[in-house]
Structure 1
Amino acid sequence: MNRQSSPKPLAGDVAEVVAYHGGDMEAAIGTLLGDIRHLRQQLVLAEGAMSRGMTRGWRPSYDRD
Structure 2
Amino acid sequence: MRPEAAEKVAEEALRGEVDAVVAFHDGDIRAALTTLLLDCHHLRLQLALSDKGMSRGMTAERTTGVEGI
CA-atom RMSD in angstroms:
2.5
Unaligned residue ranges in structure 2 (runs of 5+)? 59-64
**After TM superposition, what 4+ stretches of structure 1 lie above 2 angstroms from structure 2?**
5-9, 51-54
Normalized per residue, the structure richer in helix is: 2
Q: Considering only CA atoms, is the larger Rg found in Structure 1 or Structure 2? A: 2
* TM-score (normalised: structure 2): 0.62
**Aligned partner letter, 1:37:** H
Unaligned residue ranges in structure 1 (runs of 5+)? 55-65
Deviations 1:5-59 (A, max 9, x none): 67825211000000000000000000000001000100111001113555xxxxx
- Structure with larger RCO (C-alpha < 8 A, sep 6+): 1
Give the SS at the match of 2:23: helix
Identity among equivalent positions (%) equals 47
* TM-score (normalised: structure 1): 0.65
